[in-house]
Amino acid sequence: MGKKIVILQSSYIPWKGYFDLMNIADVFVIYDEVEFSKNDWRNRNRIKTSQGVQWLTIPVKLKGKSHHYISDIQISYEKWNIKHWKTIQSNYGKAAFFTDNKEWLSELYNNCTFKYLSEINFHFLNAIRQKLGITTPLIWSSDLNLSGDRNEKLINICKMLNGTEYISGPSAKGYLDTELFEKHNISVKWMDYSGYPQYNQLYGPFEHGVSILDLILNEGDRAPNFMKSFTY
C-alpha cells in the first residue's frame, strides 16, 4: 500500500501547521541538505509576550557569502538555550499549563547542548512530536543518497519510501512540477492552513503564527483539539 510522504526542512520550535503535516504523513523526511536561508524559520520562531510577538533566534555561524547547507550550520553562542528558556519562563509563567510542562521543557532546553542546528531542531521536533502523541517516524534525507534536480530529489524520496502521495505546504506551489510527480504515479496534495480555531492565548489579539509551544503551554493536553490533523 502506498504511503503519504511529507518532506520539509527542519525548523526551530515551529508552529502548529508544521506538526499537522507531520501527523498526516506516514513518513516525515527532514530535508536539511538544502541551502540555509537567513531570516527564515530554520533557526528562529516567534512567541507571544506582553510587548507583542517576539522572535527567539538561535545564533549561527555563517562564513562569508558562500552557500551553506542547513545540515552544516553550527551555532555561534553556546548558552543560547539558557537565554531562550529564561525568555519562555518570563513570558509564559502565567500560562494555564506552564507548571504542568515546566519540568519537560526545562529539561529539553537544558539538555540541548548540540553544536549543529539540524541536531538542535531534531531534538525539539522529536520531543514535541511525542508530547502531541504523533507517531509518524522521522527520517533524514541524507540517509537516502539522493540525486537529480529539486523536483527529482523529492520524487526519488517518495519512490524510495513507497510513497504514492506527496503532501506539501502551499508555499511550494511556485516551483513544484506536479506533472512530473504524476508521471511517476505520485499525487500531490496541498496542506490547507485556513480555518484553525482560536485557543486560550495570553497577551492581546490572537496570533496563529507562533511556536507550537504557545499552544502547548496555554492548552496542555488539549492542544491537539486545536490542530486540524487531529480533529478532521
Is the pLDDT at 222 greater than 90, yes or no?
yes
- If one counts the domains in the chain, the total is 1
Hey, which residues does 48 pair with through a beta bridge? 53
Q: Are strands 52-57 and 44-49 parallel, antiparallel or unpaired?
A: antiparallel
pLDDT > 70: percent of the chain:
98
- Reduced to 3 states (helix: H, G, I; strand: E, B; else coil), residue 119 is helix
> Is-contact 10 118, C-beta < 8 A?
yes
pTM of the model: 0.96
Give the domain range for residue 38. 3-231
pLDDT per residue as tens digits for the range 183-200: 999 999 999 999 999 999
Half-sphere exposure (CA, 13 Å, Cβ side) for 74? Answer: 6
Q: How far is CA 118 from the centre of its chain?
A: 11
pLDDT per residue as tens digits for the range 108-131: 999 999 999 999 999 999 999 999
